[in-house]
Each structure stands twice: as structure tokens, then as C-alpha cells.
Amino acid sequence: MLSSHLLDEVQRTCDAVAIVDRGSIIQQGPIAELLAGAPVALQVECSEPGRARALLAGTILGARIEAAPAALGLEIMLPAGTGRDVSAEVNRILVAGGISVDRLQPVQNSLESWFLQVTSRPGDLK
């Protein structure tokens, strides 16, 4: 048993975790299963991020994804359990729309980012 707030180390050391928030266990189980239920982020570096975002919003995918400006393009949030076919479809839509895609990469979920999602409450960050 290991008790730590260093979640990167916990993720590399342990197979399963229990997340305690305000003295109560709120989630527990194998790390891989817990992270599988998290939304998937997709980083897209492209020639025209603004137009890419508008192009994606006008498709069937637009209702299922959330695209936000990022340093070199877009960060797209996909629902938990989204398959690789959606990433391929994002790429196809952008290229067909005349947008040059330099990089399209899923972002690996970390235990720390997942922890922040399940323990954050509106108004906590002030």
C-alpha cells in the first residue's frame, strides 16, 4: 500500500488506486480502467486552426467534440471510449477542406489530470 500525492509516481508504481477526497473514497479500481473512462484529448497542429474549428463544427462530429484553440492549432476533446476511427475522420475532414495537418496526436491521459477532473468543484479555483 502506498499513500502519496505524487500521482505520476503512483501511476508508474501501482496497478490500482483509491482516490480520497475530503476523507471519503470517491473512486477506486485498476488505473487502466479508471483512465479508460476519461475523455480523450486530440492535439491537432494545422495551417488554419480557426477555419479547421469552424469546418469541424459544421459536421456530424461537431456535436460530439469540443474544439478549442491551442498553441499550434487545436485541442479537441473527444468523449470517453472514442475509437481511433474518429481521429482518422477528423484528419479526413480537415484535409478534404484544404487544411494542411502537420500533426494529429492523441494525448495520453494521466492519473493526475483524471484526478483533477473527478475532484474539482466549481468555485474551488480562486
Indicate whether this model's pTM tops 0.85: no
Per the CB < 8 A criterion, the answer to whether 61 and 83 are in contact is no
Q: Which residues of 60-74 are buried (b: 16+ CB within 10 A; e: fewer)?
A: ebeeebebeeeeebb
Distance separating alpha carbons of residues 9 and 81, to the nearest angstrom:
25
Query: Which residue spans within 1-126 are E strands per DSSP?
Result: 16-21, 24-30, 40-46, 66-70, 73-78, 101-107
What's the whole-number average pLDDT of the chain?
88
Going by the DSSP 8-state scheme, the letter that residue 47 receives in this structure is S
Residue 75 cell numbers, joined: 485541442
Whether residue 123 is predicted with pLDDT greater than 80 in this model: the reply is no
Give the model confidence (pLDDT) of 98-110 as tens digits. 999 999 998 877 8
Residue 40 is predicted with a pLDDT of: 82
pLDDT tens-digit map of 32-89: 888 887 888 899 999 999 999 999 999 988 888 889 999 889 999 988 878 888 999 9
For residue 25, what pLDDT is reported? 92
What local confidence, expressed as pLDDT, does residue 65 receive? 86
pLDDT of residue 108: 75
Q: What is the pLDDT of residue 125?
A: 55
C-alpha cell of residue 86: 474518429
